[in-house]
């Protein structure tokens, strides 16, 4: 028999949530150079290679086409990952991947064309 001043506490039926397990993690991986639109827009036909290098830095890749046109490329790659785990039954994974290549074509040492791939 229980003393009259004791209180019995009953656990509700079902799973106990007083030991909830949760984790959050996020990660961003960036490679290359992200060139803002307003910066890339400054490169106009007639600008020199020196102007382009001063503005964007050295390119990741240089190629020469059969017609003698030289193309420089700056690459940018970004992957964002976010993971959330609640208990062991629910896992949410969000991932975004952004990739961009900025290209500038020169003929006789001056810009003739710019584009984004």
DSSP conformation letters of 17-85: -TT--EEEEEEEEEEE----HHHHTT--TT-BHHHHHHHH-S-SEEEE-TTS-EEEEEEEEEEEEEEEE
Contacts of 48 (CB under 8 A, 6+ apart): 109, 110, 111
The pTM of the full predicted model, rounded to 2 decimals, is 0.63
Write out pLDDT tens, residues 7-37: 445 555 555 445 556 778 888 899 999 999 9
Lowest mean pLDDT among 57-66, 84-93, 99-108: 84-93
- What is the per-residue pLDDT across 62-72, written as a single tens digit (0 to 9) for each? 999 999 999 99
Dist CA 95 CA 108 (whole Å): 43
């Amino acid at each position: 028999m229980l003393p009259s001043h004791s209180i019995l506490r009953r656990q509700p039926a079902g799973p106990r949530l007083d030991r909830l397990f949760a984790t959050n993690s996020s990660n961003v991986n960036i490679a290359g150079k992200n060139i803002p639109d307003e910066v890339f827009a400054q490169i106009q036909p007639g600008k020199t290679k020196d102007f382009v290098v001063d503005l964007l830095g050295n390119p990741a890749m240089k190629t020469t086409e059969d017609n003698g046109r030289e193309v420089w490329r700056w690459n940018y790659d970004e992957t964002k990952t976010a993971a959330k785990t609640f208990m062991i039954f629910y896992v949410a994974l969000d991932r975004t991947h952004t990739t961009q290549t900025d290209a500038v074509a020169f003929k006789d040492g001056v810009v003739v064309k710019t584009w984004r791939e």
